[in-house]
Structure formats: structure tokens, C-alpha cells
């Protein structure tokens, strides 16, 4: 009978094994990456030039919902849109305490290290994974990430609409079981990913990346309830034994376009918010999809902002697109996905007649129909996810079903998000 190692040696060896698995060796980078699977993600963006928010000698306590389980955890911090180094004095992870805003569950707190150090400086334009840490992390759990910012730190790299509460507290309280916040926030700051290893069917887990705009981001869903359609899809995976190994990563950004970066007309109110819309889908696809740990599939729901924004407050009229231009953008995404071995599934653009944003015209409805016809029949995507069919009003197909309409004619409510997730065929991921 083999001798059992002392507890501290077993933990040390486990930690070293996870650390070695995380190191990108030139000959085995793809194999190393395959050992990790994304369990949560947020696509980062810049902030408007008018933004003055900064943190100093404060702790950010941010909560994210996991999608797939693991026993080893890494966290990705980002300074991709910063102009100065991002200095993290200390960072920790823990399971959130149910019913205690900002509280963490006793016995689950773990310090994060970066190259063995408890502090890290992330250069401008860069992002950084933490070293692996041993933590039994369930699927569908709320994970708290606490970061201490000792120096004045402008909030330059964000995911603006988190639809999740976070907290700001004075001083370094990263390890405190409870905090006394001075502010509650609904934006994720400097945080873009959590990945796991050692989960169900270890080594075979894959991630499904939901790539889209505000509808994927979860616009108009209940704050803090995790009712975005990717969340509801992850719930379906967890109840299906054949899909329990799948992570779901939300790479949606509200206002995002497939073809163009934000370019708000000068002098419009959009100058104060359009930067949050993120880089064009074609530009950010590599970072937000292809570089995700364990990515094996992508579901693309993009194009409604390309069709609807031009001529409104967020985009100039000269950026009006044709259906052919949107289709060509989709072709390019699929080609990138296939070059990297991902299955690409095209989601049809949902109806928006009667919207409050001024998107709809008969000409734009014709563009939507043309793009959807190509997604359904063009044979370029590996499969189709027909969100249009799942959410439209049968009596008026150019509109959302009233039971699924959040009230603005464009974004589904919680029930609509569930209908979208239920429309995704699970067989596509088996």
C-alpha cells in the first residue's frame, strides 16, 4: 500500500503541478492551455475621455458567477486600455457568502500570487494571469475577487455593464470576511477572466464563448440575478450529464458592432459613453474568443448595432452598412474560428420593430432578414442558433414577442433570455 504524503507536501506538489501546467512552453503551449478551461469572462473596453474615476488605497471586491467546476483556479487581471502601470498591492479569491453583500465564505479565502509574489504590476496594454491556486470551486458559484489598489489608479480598463454588484472599501481589506463599503458598483474593473483545472472529466473540458453585443451582455436583465442567456445556457449544461464539462464565457459588450469601433458624432451625448461599446468584433475576436482558455466553440450574435446605430446619437450616418458588408464580417469571424480549430455557430439577429432606440426602418428590417437568411442557409457557419425564431411574435414577426420584451423593443427580458438559452441545441456541443 503506498505511503500517504504529509498534508503540506501533498498541497505543495499539487500546487507545483498546477503551476507547471500553466507555464506556456513553446512546444507545448496548446497542450498546457488545454488543461485550463474558462469558467467566467468579461470583455474589456476603454472608458470615455471625460471619465475621472480613480481608486487609491482602496479594495475592489468583485463577484463573478462560475460556469464549470474546478479544483485549481487562476484569475486574469487586465490593463489593456491603461496609459500607466496597474499596481495591485494584493489580490485574493474566495467563495461569496450567501446573503452577505461583500462577505466571503469562511475557509475559502486564498491569496493570489503572480510569479510567486503577492503583488503585481501590469504594464499598459497588457494582461496577466495569476499563478494557480488550489480551491474547490463549484459550477454555478459566486466567486469573490478582491484587489487592493495602493496607488492612484484611473479606472481605464473596464467592463461597463456587469449587471452584478461589487463593492469599494477603504484600505487593504482583501482578506477580511466582511467589508464596510464606501461605494457599490455595477462595473467590473481590471478583471477579465477566471479559469479552472481539475474539474469534471479533467483535461477534456472545453469552453463555449458567447460573442455578441448588449443582448449577450445581459442588458435589461435583473441586476445580480445572473439571467443573461449565457448564464441560462450554463444552467442547462449543468443539468445535462453530457454537457457538465462545458464552461460558458460571456464575451458580449453592450453597444458593440461587428465592423467598426465606436465613433460618436462630435458634440453628441454619446461622447460620454460610446467608448464603453468596445472595439469592433472583428478586432477583438482574437482576444475575447480565440485566446480564452479551453475555447472550443463560439456562438456569434452580432450585427444589430451595425444595422441600427448609424444616423443616431452613437454613430454617424456615413457608417450605414449593407447586408453584404455584415455578411462579409461574419465570414471573416468564421474563418478565424476555423483556423484555430473552433466550431462556429451563427445566431440569427432578433427583431426590433418598434424599438425605443430609433434602430428600425423598413430598409433596416430588409437588411436583418437578408443577414438572417444567409446565416440560416449560407453553409458557412457550422450550425445555426435561431434566436430570431425563438423570440419573435408569431403574429408580428418583425417584433419581439411581448412576453419576452424588456420594454424597449430590442432587448429581451429575463423570460426572453431563458427562451434564447432554451433555443440552443445541446447536441451541438457533444
What single string gives the DSSP state of each residue in 4-53? PPPHHHHHHHHHHHHHHHHS--TTTHHHHHHT-EEEEE---B---TT---
Handedness of CA 124, 129, 131, 133 (dihedral sign): positive
**Domain edges within the chain:** 46-193, 205-429
Instruction: Give the closest residue to 310 by CA, choosing from 273, 349, 357.
Output: 357
The mean pLDDT value for 132-144 works out to: 97
Instruction: Give the closest residue to 289 by CA, choosing from 250, 236, 346, 255.
Output: 250
Q: What is the dihedral of CA 163, 166, 168, 169, to 10 degrees?
A: 160
Q: Which residues contact 117 (CB under 8 A, 6 or more apart)?
A: none
Instruction: Give the closest residue to 153 by CA, choosing from 240, 59, 227.
Output: 59
CA–CA distance, 358 with 256 (Å, rounded to integer): 16
CA–CA distance, 312 with 369 (Å, rounded to integer): 21
- Identify the burial level of 172 via C-beta atoms within 10 angstroms of its C-beta, where 0-12 means exposed, 13-18 middle and 19 or more buried: middle
Alpha carbon separation from 83 to 122, 125, 141, 279 (Å, rounded): 11, 8, 34, 17
143 — pLDDT class (breaks 50, 70, 90): very high
Segment 203-217, tens digit of pLDDT: 467 999 999 999 999
User: Are the beta carbons of 414 and 221 closer than 8 angstroms?
Assistant: yes
Segment 330-357, tens digit of pLDDT: 999 999 999 999 999 999 999 999 999 9
Q: Characterize the bridge pairing of strands 110-111 and 90-95.
A: antiparallel
User: Are the beta carbons of 39 and 194 closer than 8 angstroms?
Assistant: yes
3-state SS, one letter per residue, for 351-376: CCCCCCCCCCCHHHHHHHHHHHHHHH
Segment 363-416, tens digit of pLDDT: 999 999 999 999 999 999 999 999 999 999 999 999 999 999 999 999 999 999
Is 3.40.50.300 the CATH number for 205-429? no
Q: What is the dihedral of CA 388, 390, 396, 397, to 10 degrees?
A: 30
pLDDT of residue 32 exceeding 70: no
pTM for this entry: 0.92
pLDDT at position 205: 79
Segment 178-188, tens digit of pLDDT: 999 999 999 99
Segment 51-91, tens digit of pLDDT: 999 999 999 999 999 999 999 999 999 999 999 999 999 99
The DSSP output letter for 286 is: I
CA–CA distance, 149 with 31 (Å, rounded to integer): 34
Q: Characterize the bridge pairing of strands 246-252 and 206-212.
A: parallel
Amino acid at each position: 500500500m503506498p505511503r500517504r504524503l504529509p498534508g503540506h507536501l501533498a498541497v505543495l506538489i499539487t500546487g507545483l503541478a498546477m503551476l507547471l501546467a500553466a507555464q506556456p512552453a513553446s512546444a507545448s503551449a496548446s497542450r498546457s492551455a488545454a488543461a485550463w478551461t474558462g469558467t467566467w469572462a468579461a470583455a474589456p473596453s476603454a472608458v470615455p475621455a471625460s471619465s475621472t474615476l480613480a481608486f487609491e488605497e482602496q479594495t475592489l471586491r468583485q463577484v463573478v458567477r462560475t460556469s464549470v467546476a474546478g479544483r485549481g483556479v487562476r484569475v486574469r487581471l487586465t490593463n489593456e486600455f491603461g496609459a500607466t502601470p496597474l499596481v495591485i498591492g494584493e489580490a485574493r479569491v474566495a467563495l461569496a457568502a450567501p446573503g452577505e453583500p461583500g462577505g466571503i465564505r469562511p475557509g475559502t479565502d486564498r491569496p493570489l500570487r503572480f510569479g510567486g509574489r503577492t503583488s503585481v504590476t501590469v504594464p499598459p496594454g497588457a494582461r496577466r494571469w495569476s499563478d494557480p491556486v488550489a480551491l474547490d470551486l463549484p459550477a454555478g458559484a459566486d466567486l469573490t475577487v478582491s484587489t487592493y489598489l495602493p496607488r492612484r489608479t484611473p479606472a481605464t480598463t473596464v467592463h461597463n455593464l456587469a449587471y452584478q454588484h461589487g463593492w469599494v472599501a477603504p484600505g487593504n481589506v482583501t482578506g477580511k470576511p466582511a467589508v464596510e463599503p464606501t461605494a457599490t458598483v455595477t462595473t467590473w474593473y481590471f478583471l477579465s477572466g477566471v479559469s479552472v483545472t481539475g474539474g469534471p472529466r479533467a483535461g477534456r473540458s472545453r469552453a463555449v464563448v458567447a460573442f455578441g453585443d448588449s443582448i449577450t451582455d445581459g442588458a435589461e436583465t435583473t441586476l445580480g440575478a445572473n439571467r443573461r442567456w449565457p448564464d441560462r445556457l450554463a444552467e442547462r449544461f449543468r443539468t445535462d450529464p453530457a454537457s457538465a464539462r462545458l464552461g460558458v464565457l460571456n464575451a458580449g459588450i453592450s453597444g458593440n458592432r461587428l465592423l467598426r469601433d465606436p465613433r460618436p458624432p462630435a458634440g453628441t451625448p454619446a461622447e460620454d459613453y460610446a467608448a464603453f461599446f468596445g472595439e469592433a468584433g472583428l478586432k477583438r475576436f482574437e482576444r475575447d474568443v480565440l485566446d480564452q482558455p479551453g475555447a472550443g466553440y463560439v456562438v456569434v450574435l452580432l450585427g444589430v448595432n451595425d444595422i441600427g446605430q448609424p444616423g443616431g446619437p452613437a454613430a454617424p450616418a456615413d457608417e450605414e452598412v449593407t447586408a453584404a458588408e455584415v455578411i462579409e464580417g461574419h465570414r471573416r469571424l468564421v474563418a478565424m474560428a476555423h483556423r484555430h480549430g473552433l466550431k462556429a455557430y451563427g445566431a440569427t439577429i432578433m427583431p426590433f420593430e418598434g424599438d425605443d432606440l430609433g434602430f428600425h426602418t423598413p430598409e433596416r428590417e430588409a437588411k436583418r432578414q437578408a443577414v438572417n437568411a444567409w446565416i440560416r442557409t449560407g453553409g458557412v457557419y457550422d450550425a445555426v442558433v435561431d434566436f430570431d425564431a425563438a423570440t419573435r411574435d408569431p403574429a408580428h414577426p418583425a417584433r419581439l414577442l411581448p412576453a419576452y420584451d424588456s420594454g424597449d423593443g430590442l432587448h429581451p427580458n429575463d423570460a426572453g433570455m431563458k427562451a434564447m438559452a432554451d433555443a440552443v441545441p445541446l447536441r451541438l456541443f457533444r
